[in-house]
Structure 1
Amino acid sequence: MGYGKSIELFLANGTADSLIIAELSNWNGKAIKIPRIEVADCKRDDIKEPGIYFLFCKEEDNTDSVYIGESENVKERLVQHIRDYSAEKEKYYWTTAVIFIGRDLNKAHIRYLEDRLVADARAAKRYAVLTKNTYGKTVLKESQTAAMNEFIDNIKILINALGYKVLEPMVVNDMATSIDNEKLYMSAGGTRAEGFVTTEGFVLLAGAVINEKISEKSLGKGAIALRKKIVESDKVKDWTTTEDILFSSSSAAADFVTGYSVSGPMTWKNAAGVTLKEIEAAESKND
């Protein structure tokens, strides 16, 4: 378990749907969350500093996407993004920007940050990353590299706290032993799968063999649409999942695997054959 962190949120205009400043104690960087419609008229000097920015978008199919960039004058660059969209030079429409600035950041620093953050966002596979190219040849001193890596760690904390899990992997390698990550198994009618419970729902691990057919009478319209979308993506090949997939619940994951409605808590079991329902009941008694 890590150490506790203190985050200060300042609602610059008094409302949560406007500009927000987020800061970690004992860190010289900060995050600025700003709606697209407020960028042009924003008079703050700090958003004109060198920094990294995330532009959050919703695609037509309601999936999340993000553009990650760097600039020596972040506001100027964001305004240019808006102009480029109006001129049809950019196809993506972002609604919110999250900016990260810090004392003494220079061009080499922000290029390094952009390259690392784009790579981490792609590896997390939660958002479609719209950034095409980064400058991957930045050379920093050893001390500067260490400082920028710490900067990235703090970016991950703050952007997550602001509600964007763009940099957070669904599967954490150093998981503690608890119900939240105990590996669970299921098999039915030729299907087989592994997964585990998380604070966000249930992660179905890559390598799950799913049913080719579905029961339209059993599954709801939402579940059918979600299954169709995932199957038609690159997340499934030859009816086997190729990457980890996050579902809202254990039942949603089990429904996806079997192609019909089942009880996740009763279907998923640990290596000893204990159902998720029984595990949860035992955990609640221990509390």
Structure 2
Amino acid sequence: MGKTVTTYLVDGDPKGTRYAFISNKICQMFVVPRSNLDYLDKQKKLHKPAFYILIGEDEMAKPQAYIGETENFKERVKDHDQKKAFWQKALIFVSKDADMTKTDVQYLEYIAVQQAKHINRYGLQENKQTPKEPNLPEYQKDAMDEFFEDIKFLTSFIGISIFETASVNQLPIFHFKRRGANARGVYDGNGFTVLRES
């Protein structure tokens, strides 16, 4: 089944500030480069509860991410700008139509950290604590699970493979030995996934 994704380039630059959403869905993703945090002053939706991912991509190393939730991204990111050096852009997810609650975004953080750690395509060293599952009613959990499916689709749409499982069977396996460490993994063009390390 086809999907329509609407993308708006705020400053006309495909690598700059932009937002995207899937037609007939409520999940909206903002992509804000660290160099343009002033944009947050103009976008009132980012002053509300949000789920977010900070992305740091270095061509020489495994990409890094920080997964979080907040009641006000505009205020929260000030702390990250001062204390976290690794990241270059933020992906912020909010509801297009209605505000999410603090518990909603805590649940999104909980399932996102679990999946990203399991897939292991981005390092999550900055996520020092493992989030606990918040208490959500069953119907709201289902709604947030569907919202998270849209998060996965939109991150993949812009080339961020943090929630994508590599098709290991179809990729060549690389073996590395260095200073007493042995590793096996695959590279799929987006990043290197370690299969075994000893």
Name the TM-score, length of structure 1 as normaliser.
0.59
> What does residue 136 of structure 1 align with?
132
1:99 aligns with 2:92: yes
Q: CA deviation at 1:203?
A: 5.0
Q: CA deviation at 1:134?
A: 3.8
Counterparts in 2 of 1:12-161, with a 5 A limit?
12-42=10-40, 43-58=42-57, 61-84=60-83, 90=84, 92-102=85-95, 103-129=98-124, 130-161=126-157
| Structure 1 letter corresponding to 2:127 | T
Where structure 1 has 5 or more consecutive residues not aligned to the other structure, the ranges are: 85-89, 172-194, 211-226, 249-287
> Which of these residues, 7, 17, 23, is aligned with residue 9 of structure 1?
7
Q: CA deviation at 1:101?
A: 0.5
Q: CA deviation at 1:4?
A: 1.5
| Structure 1 letter corresponding to 2:43 | R
What secondary structure, in the 3-state scheme, does the structure 1 residue paired with 2:103 have? helix
Q: Residues 41 and 8 (structure 1 numbering): CA distance in 2 closer, same or farther, change over 3 Å?
A: closer
Q: Residues 32 and 247 (structure 1 numbering): CA distance in 2 closer, same or farther, change over 3 Å?
A: closer
What secondary structure, in the 3-state scheme, does the structure 2 residue paired with 1:94 have? coil
Q: CA deviation at 1:47?
A: 1.5
User: Does the CA contact (< 8 Å) of 1:111 and 1:134 recur in 2?
Assistant: no
> What does residue 246 of structure 1 align with?
187
Q: CA deviation at 1:163?
A: 1.1
User: Does the CA contact (< 8 Å) of 2:110 and 2:133 recur in 1?
Assistant: no
Aligned residues: 185
Counterparts in 2 of 1:221-236, with a 5 A limit?
227-228=176-177, 232=181, 236=183
Q: Distance in 1 between matches of 2:110 and 2:59?
A: 27
Q: Residues 60 and 9 (structure 1 numbering): CA distance in 2 closer, same or farther, change over 3 Å?
A: closer
Q: Distance in 1 between matches of 2:8 and 2:146?
A: 23
Name the TM-score, length of structure 2 as normaliser.
0.84
Where structure 2 has 5 or more consecutive residues not aligned to the other structure, the ranges are: 190-198
Greater mean deviation of Cα atoms: 59-68 or 42-51? 59-68
User: Does the CA contact (< 8 Å) of 2:119 and 2:165 recur in 1?
Assistant: yes
When the two chains are superposed, the root-mean-square deviation of aligned CA atoms in Å is 2.3
Q: CA deviation at 1:51?
A: 0.7
| Structure 2 letter corresponding to 1:144 | Q
Q: Distance in 2 between matches of 1:203 and 1:153?
A: 28
Q: Residues 110 and 203 (structure 1 numbering): CA distance in 2 closer, same or farther, change over 3 Å?
A: farther
- CA deviations 1:106-145 (Å, max 9, x no partner) are 1111111001001111111111113122431301111001
Q: Residues 41 and 157 (structure 1 numbering): CA distance in 2 closer, same or farther, change over 3 Å?
A: closer
Q: Residues 203 and 170 (structure 1 numbering): CA distance in 2 closer, same or farther, change over 3 Å?
A: farther
Counterparts in 2 of 1:156-171, with a 5 A limit?
156-171=152-167
User: Does the CA contact (< 8 Å) of 1:170 and 1:203 recur in 2?
Assistant: no
User: Does the CA contact (< 8 Å) of 2:53 and 2:91 recur in 1?
Assistant: yes
What secondary structure, in the 3-state scheme, does the structure 2 residue paired with 1:115 have? helix
Q: Distance in 2 between matches of 1:6 and 1:247?
A: 26
Q: Distance in 1 between matches of 2:162 and 2:92?
A: 14
Q: Which structure would you say has the larger RCO, counting Cα contacts within 8 Å and 6 or more residues apart? A: 2
If each structure's strand is expressed as a fraction of its own residues, which one has the higher value?
A: 2
> Which of these residues, 153, 163, 169, is aligned with residue 196 of structure 1?
169
Q: Distance in 1 between matches of 2:29 and 2:172?
A: 29
